[in-house]
Amino acid sequence: MATTTKKAPETIATQQHGNRIVTLDEFIIRSEKDFEYATGELTGLLRDIGVAAKIINREVNKAGLVNIIGVADSGDNASGDKQQKLDVYANEKLIECLQNSGECCAIASEENDDIIQVSPVNSKKSNYIVLFDPLDGSSNIDVNVSVGTIFAIYRRRSDAAGPATKEDFLQPGTKQVAAGYVLYGTSTILVYTTGHGVNGFTLDPSIGEFCLSHRNLRIPENGQFYAVNQGYYSKFDLEMRRYIDNCSDQNYGLRYIGSMVSDIHRILIQGGIFLYPSTRKYPKGKLRLLYECNPLAMVVEQAGGKSLTTQLKRILDMEPRELHQRCTIAIGSPAMVDELKAFVERYSALPL
């Protein structure tokens, strides 16, 4: 008797378009039916982020040409770091784009101590909140090395009748409805997920559009590269030192750009592991849970990878307590994260 196999649902990510260009806008609109609450708000939000990314890209690309490189007058940001002028610019543009459309009700950024309320546009109340790091790795700007924007989108928890609250932002990463990054590299690429796989769009500067270039991205199961600031080796815990020794014994190549978006993007394409464990300076890790680790963990998991704290908790299950909370991270190819886990279990002095 002939058996019928059930066909997987066809989405725009899996449809073949021959050589036809699929722009980010077209892709977002045609994917709307995949969203649980398809009111068009999330579609609008992703488009706003795409527009802000193009504006930031324009400034990043001419950073050496105009007097925009260097430390801003505004002083330190919420985490006590020096703000770069381009950090401030990218932050302003993202906030502006999101405020103008009113597709979200509140924003949190690495560059702002507190959340920013967004006034309704045309009396329309939004159910979404957005978190971002407007320009991650910004210490690289002055030396022409790649930087990135990271974003996460959640549905608010509080009643839409009132202002958004900090609790709306303190949700675990599993509640993200969309997350992604923009890498301003040799070319500019926007990579995002809405929980239905990961797709990448490269900016074609000749037409000013992000075009689908990396359909349904899958991270390699294993890799040959590890990314960690090995300069802190002596400040790492024993289990981390043993794992790094093992990477060296196995002849894995060390690749560390010092710009998390760039390091993770390479790992997504070529395989590998990125580590930012506890150090003496940052006992809880350096990177921020809500707008750095969670969105990148969602992207990597959606591409088939894994992401844990170096205390072996799944990043996306962490319960946040503060907006600018830091977190340790081990993220990348599933086989390499599993290998790291085995080292931590074997050598850790801490009760797991």
Q: Which residues are catalytic?
A: 81, 87, 110-111, 133, 135-136, 292
How many whole angstroms separate alpha carbon 130 and alpha carbon 191?
Answer: 16
Interface pick for ligand AHM out of 91, 127, 138, 307 (rule CB under 6 A): 138
Contact window for ligand AHM (CB under 6 A) among 256-264, 302-310, 314-322, 323-331: 256-264
The reply to whether 286 sits near ligand AHM by the rule CB under 6 A is: yes
Does residue 324 belong to the site contacting ligand AHM (CB under 6 A)? no
Q: How many chain residues interact with ligand AHM (CB under 6 A)? A: 11
Determine the interface stretch with ligand AHM among 116-124, 132-140, 216-224, 300-308 (rule: CB under 6 A): 132-140
User: Which one, 90 or 212, has the nearer CB to Mg ion?
Assistant: 90
Which chain residues interact with Mg ion by CB under 5 A? 133, 136
| Residue 81's binding partner out of Mg ion, ligand AHM, none, with CB under 5 to 8 Å set by partner kind | ligand AHM
Of the ranges 48-56, 163-171, 257-265, 293-301, which one interacts with ligand AHM (CB under 6 A)?
A: 257-265
d(CA 259, CA 343): 26
User: What character string, x for contact with ligand AHM (CB under 6 A) and - otherwise, covers 42-81?
Assistant: ---------------------------------------x
Shortest CB 95 distance to ligand AHM, Å:
17
149 binds ligand AHM (CB under 6 A): no
Q: Is 285 one of the binding residues for ligand AHM (CB under 6 A)?
A: no
The interface partner of residue 286, options being Mg ion, ligand AHM, none and the CB cut-off 5 to 8 Å by kind, is ligand AHM
Q: Which is nearer to Mg ion, 133 or 301 (CB)?
A: 133
Residues that bind ligand AHM (CB under 6 A): 81, 110, 133, 136-138, 229, 258-260, 286
